[in-house]
Chains A and B, each alone.
Chain A
Amino acid sequence: MVDWQLTAFLVLSVLEIGASIMVVTSKKLVHAAFWLAMTLVTIGGIYLVLLSEFVFLIQILVYAGAVPVLFVFGIMLTRRKIMEEVTVPEEGAEALPGPGEESRP
């Protein structure tokens, strides 16, 4: 007989540890924030395995829905280069300033 609770716990733990390693190793900060969301959701899953539904739902509501979004906001509002720039050389015309270029000294 398979112990489903233990299996679910192990799967969730592996996912959580993998995601948390990705948080600290990924090169792009936005990716790190979204891996953080995955970590928080899997922690919520572990709460559900421990039969505490209320903590699970609050975890999803607060930590999965709001905290990573706040992180991403912080990243997007502070870092200048958050998108891949596609530069198309235009003939005979001065290239228009890209996003954020006006504030460049």
Chain B
Amino acid sequence: MSGHLVSPNLFELTRILMDGILRILSDAIKALAPVGSPVEPLRGLGDAILTPWLVDLLSWLVAITIMVTWVAAILLLTFMWIERKTYSRLQDRYGIMLSVWSLPFWPFSWLARRRHKPTHKGLGWLQNVADGVKLVQKENITPAKADSAMFHTAPVLIASSTVLIFAALPFSEGFVIADVPLSLLFILAAFSLAPLGILIAGWSSNNKYSLIGGMRAAAQLMAYEIPLLLAVIAIIFYSGTLNVIGIVKGQEVPLAYLGPIAIPAWNILSIPQFLGFVVFFVAIIAEMERIPFDIPEAEAELVEGWVTEYSGMRFGLVFGFKWLRAIAGSALVVILYFGGWSGPVWVTLTPTVGATVIPIPIVPHEVWFLLKVFVVFLVFVWISWSVPRVRIDQILNIGWKRLIPLSLLALILAALFVLFAPLPGGIR
């Protein structure tokens, strides 16, 4: 088994760091205010900043900041970059493919394809930062007859409920803010808060396109939540826990051996869970409002759906939240069906330093997890830019008439397989 980098977990790591920084700060204050000097009362401050609850509070804040920066800045930009690059390759859009100009310095400029041209330098990763800066500069316009309070609440509600997902979504055993016992339920609950915000946004804009888009989005998101949850219940039959880390641990055992190579017992390799995977995959595409199911913002008929009236950075918030949901959705697919962060390289070097054994991960869990998440997201991008959009009645028919019976079938099969556990031939 390879180990994980953030060990034992994010909070403990930041607490050690914070403790060290505050100790140095405390010593510095005490050195600057020696006993007998006029600033001697400052020594009390030096002791006060070492109070345990203050250190805990600061470490929590730093851990949350690290997670939010990681997800909402680095991963979000990377996902947007992957999507833009991939669809421009798929649809032969020349502009984004080549002339995105950013990072005009060494490793990136060297990697660029047409590096001899000044406008073709870099990989284009910072193009989205430029777009964000452009959005910040724009005016925030409120429509004249809009319900102002709700119009301004909706983006906050949508964005905050989406960021809330990442309070419990782990990137490895340690790289997680809060490892709560019911974390899978927490993630799904935070995932399901968006329809309310979308409906608020659509209604309060006082625009018929926004209203239609908002109602379509809410109908679609609510319809596809049911097969999503049923597929997840089939997973819970197998794992017996609602903790995401526990679900991944259940998949880390070897299923069979092909000579020396161990096949991990990923959930997708069992018959009922494969059905559940098909349902979950389609449902999560609909939950992300990606293209086969992006009828809420069908730009050919509804301008931009429920985001039509938003401008400036509010538009950036409600637009970027889709990629945040895409990150969460891809991560959920990987965690539930593809064995999470367990990689194929089952090696850890453990040198002994003094009396403690320190595991050195050859390829850390975080890297495996990110690789799998990127591959799943690439499949999402591939699907969304290759197929046409389906109508709203077709979407609801697929959801209610096809996916729900299929997920119920997966549920019943999973229950039967768990009931008659050791099937002949190791079929699961």
Contacts and interface: CB of A to CB of B under 8 A. Distances in A.
Contact of B200 (A34, A60, A66, A76): A34
A66 B180 CA distance: 24
Given A73-B218, A83-B208, A64 B182 contact: no
Interface string A70-95: 10110010000011101000000000
Q: Which 7 A-B pairs have the closest CB atoms?
A: A65-B192, A84-B145, A60-B189, A61-B189, A57-B185, A57-B189, A69-B195
Interface string B186-203: 101110110110011001
Residue of A37, A54, A65, A73 with highest tally of chain B CB at under 10 A: A65
B4 to A, nearest CB: 26
A57 B189 CA distance: 6
Q: Is the interface of B mostly helix, strand, loop or mixed?
A: helix
B402 to A, nearest CB: 21
Given A73-B219, A84-B145, A65 B203 contact: no
Given A34-B150, A53-B182, A60-B193, A69 B222 contact: yes
B206 A83 contact: yes
Contacts of B180: 53
A60 B10 CA distance: 27
Contacts of B186: 57
Contacts of B200: 34
A53 to B, nearest CB: 6
B181 interface: yes
Given A53-B181, A54-B185, A65 B206 contact: no
Contacts of B222: 65-66, 69-70
B211 interface: yes
A64 B194 CA distance: 10
Interface of B: 144-145, 150, 180-182, 185-186, 188-190, 192-193, 195-196, 199-200, 203, 206-208, 211, 215, 218-219, 222, 225
A83 to B, nearest CB: 5
Contacts of A99: 208
Contact of A69 (B144, B150, B199, B211): B199
A69 B185 contact: no
B196 A76 contact: no
A65 B207 CA distance: 24
Interface of A: 30-31, 34, 37, 53-54, 57-58, 60-61, 64-66, 68-70, 72-73, 76, 82-84, 86, 99
Nearest to A66: B222
A57 B225 contact: no
B146 to A, nearest CB: 8
A94 B189 CA distance: 49
Contacts of B218: 69, 72-73
B215 A76 contact: yes
A92 to B, nearest CB: 24
A61 B215 contact: no
Nearest to A34: B200
Contacts of A83: 145, 203, 206-208, 211
A31 B200 CA distance: 9
Nearest to B185: A57
A79 to B, nearest CB: 12
Given A53-B181, A53-B182, A83-B211, A61 B192 contact: yes
Given A54-B182, A57-B185, A57-B186, A84 B196 contact: no
Contacts of B206: 83-84, 86
Contacts of A54: 182, 185
A89 B270 CA distance: 65
Contacts of B193: 60, 64-65
